[in-house]
């Protein structure tokens, strides 16, 4: 595992020594002849928080939020830039000789001295189970810079709704903290859906914020006792829904229902959403004809005739392309297709454009293709 244990010092003095080295080695000309990953590995051997180009974070604290959810409070090194409320980071681990990435929303307030990610343990989740069982205060992890478009605007609407369900509360919680820090004076409803009080992530923190934030009205629906939540209940509980700019992060079924409500009722206020899972793949146009997929940089080629994404096909062939979310959001698996035809499995779009960026996790080959990997 690429987790360094029990780091006791901040490494500020060593960081001061690396800063001049970074300015030299990150010169484009030097980058062309020096393998930065090797330099990063060497610096990591001196001190785990040191890197020329990677954001390293020290786990400061692990908080039990619910029976199956933990928050990891992180202290980043000097390479961390900024994040907006609602954005995510890619967490990178080396597991059994393979690089693994997962996407986690930041639950901390933008501008806070420390970051936080909140992770629900998934039954068969490789990374979430490892984080829950093995990662402790003092360990060092590697993350990306923040990314994502599920964010609050600079100019805020006067009436807003933050809607979440389950672990979808994590990016929305960051938004709430940001709104409180910005002293939002409008009309804000935070509506959260979960199964039971024991499953309520951030329960105590939300109660504390609600008591100190006059603009906020907090609504919680427990589906185990109050019944399955649906858009009819949302409309009756929030009668001025059509007047509220809305941000929603929830499982697919609720997300789809909210989007359908906006379409059916012709609601004109903006609806912003963040999905946990990709939309279902459309029926494919593939006919099962074998095609060759060439990884140009690695000099490897495999043959596929299936309808699965290129990422899955490559892994079956024994290759290990870089990836993260596997649902077309984080773009970790994005690469250049130099030639050939692919189908976007989410939209059904067919493209034969040369030298275009594609995402391996949602693209399938429809002819012989070459990828710059």
Amino acid 40: pLDDT: 72
Task: Tell me the CATH architecture of domain 159-275.
Answer: 3-Layer(aba) Sandwich (3.40)
Asked if residue 86 has pLDDT above 90, the reply is: yes
The residue to which tokens 């484009």 are assigned: 28
Question: In a 3-state reduction of DSSP, which class is residue 183?
Answer: coil
Say how far apart CA 119 and CA 167 lie, in whole Å.
8
- Average pLDDT of every residue of the chain: 87
This prediction's pTM:
0.75
Sheet holding 369-371, edge to edge: 300-304, 291-295, 369-371, 334-339, 356-359
The mean pLDDT of 74-93, rounded to a whole number, is 94
Choice between 137 and 33, residue whose per-residue pLDDT is larger: 137
Q: Is the pLDDT of residue 46 over 90?
A: no
Which CATH number, 3.10.20.30, 2.40.10.10, 3.40.640.10, 3.40.228.10, labels domain 291-371? Answer: 3.10.20.30
Q: In Å, how far are 105, 184, 207 from 175, measured between CA atoms?
A: 11, 11, 16
Contact 326, 311 (CB under 8 A): yes
The pLDDT tens digits of the residues spanning 305-332 come to 766 889 888 888 788 888 877 888 778 8
Distances (CA, A) of 55 to 26, 40, 145, 213, 258: 15, 11, 7, 33, 36
pLDDT at 317: 79
Cβ atoms of residues 349 and 284 within 8 Å: no
What pairing do the DSSP bridges indicate for beta strands 350-351 and 98-105?
A: unpaired
In this structure, of 142-151, 196-205, 345-354, the range with the lowest mean pLDDT score is 345-354
Q: Give Cβ neighbours of residue 256 (< 8 Å, ≥ 6 apart).
A: none
CA-wise closest residue to 162 among 189, 180, 187, 182: 189
pLDDT single digits (tens) 241-290: 999 999 999 998 999 999 999 999 999 999 999 875 555 555 555 556 78
Tell me yes or no: is domain 12-143 CATH 1.20.1250.20: no
For 331-364, b/e burial (b = at least 16 CB within 10 A) is: bbbbbebeebbbbbbbeeeeeeeeeeebbbbbbb
Q: What is the pLDDT of residue 37?
A: 67
Which sequence spans correspond to the domains of the chain? 12-143, 159-275, 291-371
User: Higher model confidence: residue 15 or residue 361?
Assistant: 361
Q: What whole-number distance in Å separates Cα of residue 218 and Cα of residue 164?
A: 12
Domains 12-143 and 291-371 are alike in CATH topology: no
pLDDT at 51: 82
Tell me the pLDDT tens digit for each residue of 199-227. 999 999 999 999 999 999 999 999 999 99
- Provide the Cα torsion 15, 19, 20, 25; round to 10°: 120
**Maximum CA extent, the chain:** 63
């Amino acid at each position: 595992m690429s987790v360094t244990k029990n780091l006791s010092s901040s490494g500020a003095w060593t960081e001061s020594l690396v800063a001049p080295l970074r300015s030299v080695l990150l010169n484009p000309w030097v980058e062309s002849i020096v393998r930065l990953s090797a330099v990063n590995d060497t610096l990591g051997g001196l001190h785990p928080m040191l890197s020329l180009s990677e954001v390293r974070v020290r786990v400061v604290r692990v908080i039990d939020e619910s029976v199956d959810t933990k928050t990891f409070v992180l202290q980043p090194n000097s390479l961390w830039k900024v994040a907006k409320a609602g954005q995510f980071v890619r967490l990178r681990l080396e597991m059994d000789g393979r690089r693994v990435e997962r996407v986690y929303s930041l639950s901390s307030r933008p501008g806070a001295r420390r970051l936080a990610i909140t992770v629900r343990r998934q039954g068969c989740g490789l990374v979430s189970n490892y984080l829950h069982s093995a990662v402790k205060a003092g360990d060092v992890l590697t993350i990306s810079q923040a990314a994502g478009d599920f964010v609050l605007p600079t100019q805020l609407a006067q009436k807003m709704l933050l809607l979440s369900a389950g672990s979808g509360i994590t990016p929305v919680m960051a938004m709430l903290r940001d709104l409180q820090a910005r002293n939002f004076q409008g009309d804000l409803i935070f509506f959260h859906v979960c199964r039971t009080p024991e499953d309520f992530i951030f329960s105590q923190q939300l109660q504390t914020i609600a008591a100190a934030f006059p603009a906020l009205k907090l609504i919680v629906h427990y589906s185990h006792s109050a019944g399955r939540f649906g858009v009819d209940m949302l409309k009756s509980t929030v009668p001025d829904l059509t007047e509220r700019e809305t941000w929603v992060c929830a499982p697919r079924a609720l997300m789809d229902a909210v989007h359908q409500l906006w379409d059916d009722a012709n609601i004109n206020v903006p609806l912003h959403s963040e999905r946990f899972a990709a939309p279902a793949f459309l029926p494919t146009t593939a006919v099962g004809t074998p095609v060759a997929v060439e990884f140009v940089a690695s000099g490897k080629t495999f043959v596929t005739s299936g309808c699965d994404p290129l990422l899955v096909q490559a892994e079956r062939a024994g290759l290990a392309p870089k990836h993260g979310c596997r649902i077309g959001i984080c773009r970790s698996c994005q690469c250049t297709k130099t030639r050939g035809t692919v189908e976007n499995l989410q939209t059904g779009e067919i493209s034969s454009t040369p030298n275009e960026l594609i995402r391996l996790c949602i693209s399938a080959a429809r002819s012989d293709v070459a990828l710059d990997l």
